[in-house]
Amino acid sequence: MLKHCVFVNFQTRYSKEERNSVLAGFAEVANDVPGLLDFCFGANLDFENKSADYGNGFIVTFKDRDALLAYERHPHHVTLGSKLVSMCVGGYDGIIVFDLEV
């Protein structure tokens, strides 16, 4: 099983609603990808004050690497990914991706 963790540094000009809208869009892909087991997103609570720049994120659980690859290739994911990059500070550099095998 894989946990695909994505942490996002949105540009301040985007409202909470705009941020949540693009993140929720990724959740819609979950219905079309076999092996995608769970999707959750939200604001970073940052209790330890270590990641203030990354105010939002999402975590996706996949059955295996093949399911992750299917998710990455899904047309809706590709479109949303481009939009997400355009909304982040520094574009692609405003996103951290961390994949864990569990």
Which fold is adopted by the domain 2-101? Alpha-Beta Plaits (3.30.70)
Residues 34 and 39: their CA atoms lie apart, in Å, by: 13
Residue range 51-102, pLDDT digits in tens? 999 999 999 999 999 999 999 999 999 999 999 999 999 999 999 999 999 9
Distance of CA 67 to the CA centre of its chain: 15
Instruction: Evaluate if pTM is beyond 0.85.
Output: yes
Residue range 51-65, pLDDT digits in tens? 999 999 999 999 999
Contact (Cβ atoms closer than 8 angstroms) between residue 56 and residue 23: yes
Contact (Cβ atoms closer than 8 angstroms) between residue 36 and residue 67: yes
Domain residue spans of the chain: 2-101
